[in-house]
Amino acid sequence: MSFDIQGKLYESFEEQQVSDKFRKREFVLEIPDGSYTQYVKFQLTQDKCSLLDQYKAGDEVKVTFNLTGKPFVKNGTTMYFTNLQAWRIESASNQFGAPAGAPAQAEAAPSFYSSDADNDLPF
């Protein structure tokens, strides 16, 4: 199951080579939430690490991610690890440069009524 969220790119970290076959890159999204701002860390892995290259701090982006979690045992106590695994990042502005979610200019709705007095409609 995937989710998306929009926010401002707050910070991005360098790519880390965790093992011979695994690399990751993390970044933080600033998300307004009423009176408080949330700072949420996401992770990109493997070939997705480069998705962040075209963005800089302050850019408004939309992130699509999977929510994953795993249990692990440490000193006899079960703990849980949660990860926000990003797999798509795109600019949050639409093709016209307006931020996504901004109200679009309403177009005039087509009118089915005519002001012609000799209209042949039965009503």
Tell me what pLDDT residue 45 has.
94
Tell me what pLDDT residue 1 has.
80
Range of the domain at 71: 2-91
- The whole-angstrom separation of Cα 57 and Cα 47 is 21
Q: What is the pTM of this model?
A: 0.70
Burial bucket for residue 29 (CB in 10 Å: 0-12, 13-18, 19+): buried
Q: Is 108 a member of any domain? A: no
Separation of CA 40 from chain center: 11
Tell me what pLDDT residue 21 has.
92
Q: Is 52 a member of any domain? A: yes
Tell me what pLDDT residue 66 has.
96
Q: Are 92 and 60 in contact (CB under 8 A)?
A: yes
Tell me what pLDDT residue 106 has.
44
Coil, helix or strand at residue 47: helix
Q: Is 102 a member of any domain? A: no
The pLDDT profile of the chain, 123 residues, written as one tens digit per residue, is 899 999 999 999 999 999 999 999 999 999 998 889 999 999 999 999 999 999 999 999 999 999 999 999 999 999 999 999 999 999 987 544 444 444 444 444 444 444 555 555 554
Q: Is 114 a member of any domain? A: no
Coil, helix or strand at residue 95: coil
Q: Is 100 a member of any domain? A: no
Nearest C-alpha neighbor of 5 from the set 27, 25, 35:
27
Count the domains in the chain: 1
CATH number of residue 61's parent domain: 2.40.50.140
Q: Is 46 a member of any domain? A: yes
Q: Is 123 a member of any domain? A: no
Nearest C-alpha neighbor of 61 from the set 36, 33, 37, 31:
31
Q: Is 97 a member of any domain? A: no
End-to-end, the C-alpha distance of the chain in Å comes to: 51
Burial bucket for residue 103 (CB in 10 Å: 0-12, 13-18, 19+): exposed
